[in-house]
Amino acid sequence: RLARGYRGLRVEALKLAEYIARLGELIVDNPEVAEVDVNPLALTRDGRLLALDAKVRLASQPQGGP
């Protein structure tokens, strides 16, 4: 919905792609992160993306380690 517009607001595709890339970097930089759930992701009137709720599940052992 954010990409198409919602309640008169519309997110720039580049900002959404940047958000997704940064979330990916967080996961790559922290191998103990097994899962991330962000819902909902809101768009503020000034065009910022804001995670209203997020859950992070950690793995019992970091991936890629010895």
pLDDT tens for the chain, 66 residues long, are 556 666 666 677 788 889 999 999 999 999 999 999 999 988 788 878 899 999 999 998 655 655
Helix boundaries (H) for 1-66? 13-29
Measured CA distances, 26 to 21, 22, 23, 47, 56 (Å): 9, 6, 5, 22, 11
Q: What is the largest CA-CA distance in the chain?
A: 50
**pTM of the predicted model, to two decimals?**
0.67
